[in-house]
Amino acid sequence: MINMDLFDMIFTQKDIENIAKNIKTIRLAYGYKTQLDFALALDPNARYPGLSHDMIKKYESGSYPITEQAVRLISSLTLFPFEDIVFGNLDDLEPDSLVLGSDEELDFTSEDFLQSVVDDMNKIFPLFSDESLMKNELFARAMNICKTRLNVVNFKEEDMNDAINSFSQFICSESYLNIMSLLGRLYATYIYKGIDKESFEELKSKDFKDTFEYAKEVHKRIGYSENCVKEAKRRYLDAYNCVLTKCMQEAAKEDKYKDYVYYYLGVRYYFGIMDNDITKLCDEDMNSFGINMLDCLDIIGNKYAKHFKETLKP
């Protein structure tokens, strides 16, 4: 695995000890008595290995060399400036004096939330076209489906397949790229369908003190339906893995699109759109590998990786 620590700011031991003290102060100010509760609040969906319970415990001990990336994540999620966490004195913060997150209950089944997911998918998996390509009837038809039938909350899988089939009948690099993008979006719907919606419906009547309390409960419910998600992923890969690999190979033949292909590979690792038996990695390790790959691509100027990180910025 690529070690992104090589690109991080190197903290002195004095800095590390100050960061440790400030992280603990922030945790207690937000009312989290245990490091486990704080870790779950910061990262309820376990997207960042650097924010796990074990890592928070190590950071607070002052004996572990925390990375710049981890500090910046904590800064973004707690709304404390990076410089204050590293160099400041937060001793004036009183325990239980702050509330982490919004007081508004987050409804993962609402139309607004689902539309926000669709909007993010449009940004993460862009479509490619130009005027000359739109003169082709099949390509234009596929793009029209994408704009009119897929840019809504509850689009149908047959609409997605209709667009993919139309692109596949007009062979060009942009068709391969668009099939890759559509299959990326389709994966998100497969996984979402694999989660038990009734569990989320039950949560609506509960009174959580803030968004993070709700997210913690949601994360537990997702854990209960883990087998359903795994089955959804298996069905997806059985149907589309070979198609994805072929499209990436063909699109990479054109130099101007190699950046997107490299970026897409990183995204596949990030979201776990890979066969675990082939990669020999669990989903958490694939996610870590994807984060490192996208960070490296951003550093060398890959605009898609940069945009991805901005889109999913905490």
Is the confidence at residue 208, as pLDDT, over 60? no
Is the confidence at residue 300, as pLDDT, over 90? yes
| Start-to-end CA span in the chain (Å) | 24
Q: What is the pLDDT, as a whole number, of residue 5?
A: 39
Q: What is the pLDDT, as a whole number, of residue 221?
A: 53
Q: What is the pLDDT, as a whole number, of residue 193?
A: 53
For the ranges 6-15, 51-60, 284-293, the maximum mean pLDDT occurs at: 51-60
137-149 pLDDT tens trace: 999 999 998 888 7
| Cα–Cα distance, 257 to 307 (Å, whole number) | 16
- 4-87: which CATH topology? 434 Repressor (Amino-terminal Domain) (1.10.260)
| Cα–Cα distance, 112 to 102 (Å, whole number) | 16
Q: Where in the sequence of the chain do the CATH 1.10.260 domains occur?
A: 4-87
**From the CB of residue 170, how many other CB atoms can be counted at a distance below 10 Å?**
16
Q: Label residue 103 by pLDDT band (50, 70, 90).
A: very low
Average pLDDT over residues 32-61: 85
Average pLDDT over residues 148-156: 65
Is the confidence at residue 297, as pLDDT, over 90? yes
Which of 7 and 8 is assigned the larger pLDDT? 8
**Encoded tokens for 204:** 């609506």
Secondary structure class of 43 (helix, strand, coil) = coil
| Cα–Cα distance, 312 to 210 (Å, whole number) | 21
pTM of the predicted structure, to 2 decimals: 0.58
Which of 260 and 93 is assigned the larger pLDDT? 260
